[in-house]
Amino acid sequence: MPLNEFSLIERFFANHSQRNDLVLGIGDDAAIVEVPKDHQLVISSDTLVEGVHFLPNIPPRALGHKALAVNLSDLAAMGAEPRWATLSISLPSLDEQWLAEFSAGLFELAEFFNVALIGGDTTRGPLSITITIHGVIPKDKALLRSSAMPGDWLYVTGSIGGSNLALQSLLDEDFAHEYQQHFNKDQQQAHLDKHYFPQPRVLAGYGLRGVANAVIDISDGLYGDLRHILKASDCDAKLWLEKLPVVEGLEQFLGREQALKMALCGGEDYELCFTVPEANKGSLDIALSYSGVNHQCVGQLSRGDGQIELLEHGQAKAIELPISWDHFTTSA
């Protein structure tokens, strides 16, 4: 029997992860969940559109993972615990093999973070995925962009630049040829995994509660995302370029300035950028020790209006940086 909308949902998306706080899941007009006492609900939503957010030939398992990961990254930046998600997907046709792989990637990550899929919608149309993630956080403990203070130290988790490096190798054959000559197979796979299977820093978000002042996830590039913190908090920042955790080998491949441009503006790293006051700096290592992610101090904040000063070993460094991605001002 050919698949219809309801059999599609039943076969690929219903009856997967369950939670004790899920009162009513997929199968009715709406889901019902229990929010724990003295907690607040945290909600984020992202839409991924073919040709805008992902290439047409992306492996469906990677797309399932990434669609959920970008939402989990938003909750990580708030310090929230992810619990439930809804999925709305527009499909040009019903491809059972594609759906099986897509749902496998989605649920593999959902089960790792104990996230239950509780509803959504399916429709026919250009390939587009919208996930809304719901989480909880103890009351008034959320990490905000607007809470940075002058004097805070600026940090970044993990490494930056690897995702965009992989993307450029997928987009440009000449770039890909040189890239493959410079990086070994393991490095190439690590970059591709960073792009296709980003790892949201949820555990790091937990550790930063009560330690960090302000947090944002790095989706559009460190330079642009940092400015969101600075503008919301009325701060400026000195960014120490020699301290940036640029992905290994990038500078040797592209040269110093081009490597910095990719690391600062490439985007889709899904690491965390955060600020920590002097009083909490000594406890940061312990706070993040169980998250399994490295962190690097890359600058310091001062009072201001959202400006970033680039410094190299204490000296001002002039680099012409591209603007951050904006769907309505940036050409694809």
Rounded to whole angstroms, the Cα distance separating 271 from 137 reads: 20
What is the DSSP annotation of 231-271? HHHTEEEEEEGGGS-BPTTHHHHH-HHHHHHHHHH------
Q: How far is CA 21 from CA 64, 142, 154, in A?
A: 24, 21, 37
Rounded to whole angstroms, the Cα distance separating 70 from 60 reads: 15
Euclidean distance between the first and the last CA atom of the chain, given in angstroms as a whole number = 40
Rounded to whole angstroms, the Cα distance separating 176 from 79 reads: 37
Q: Does 124 count as an annotated binding residue?
A: no
Q: Does 151 count as an annotated binding residue?
A: no
Q: Does 108 count as an annotated binding residue?
A: no
Q: Does 29 count as an annotated binding residue?
A: yes
Q: Does 177 count as an annotated binding residue?
A: no
Other beta carbons less than 10 A from residue 185's beta carbon: 8
Q: Does 53 count as an annotated binding residue?
A: yes
Rounded to whole angstroms, the Cα distance separating 224 from 214 reads: 15
Rounded to whole angstroms, the Cα distance separating 187 from 161 reads: 13
Q: Does 145 count as an annotated binding residue?
A: yes
Amino acid sitting at position 10:
E
Amino acid sitting at position 239:
L
Q: Does 268 count as an annotated binding residue?
A: yes
Q: Does 186 count as an annotated binding residue?
A: no
Enumerate the known binding-site residues for substrate: 53, 268, 325
Enumerate the known binding-site residues: 29, 44-46, 53, 74, 120-121, 145, 217, 219-220, 268, 325
Enumerate the known binding-site residues for ATP: 120-121, 145, 219
Enumerate the known binding-site residues for Mg(2+): 29, 44-46, 74, 121, 217, 220
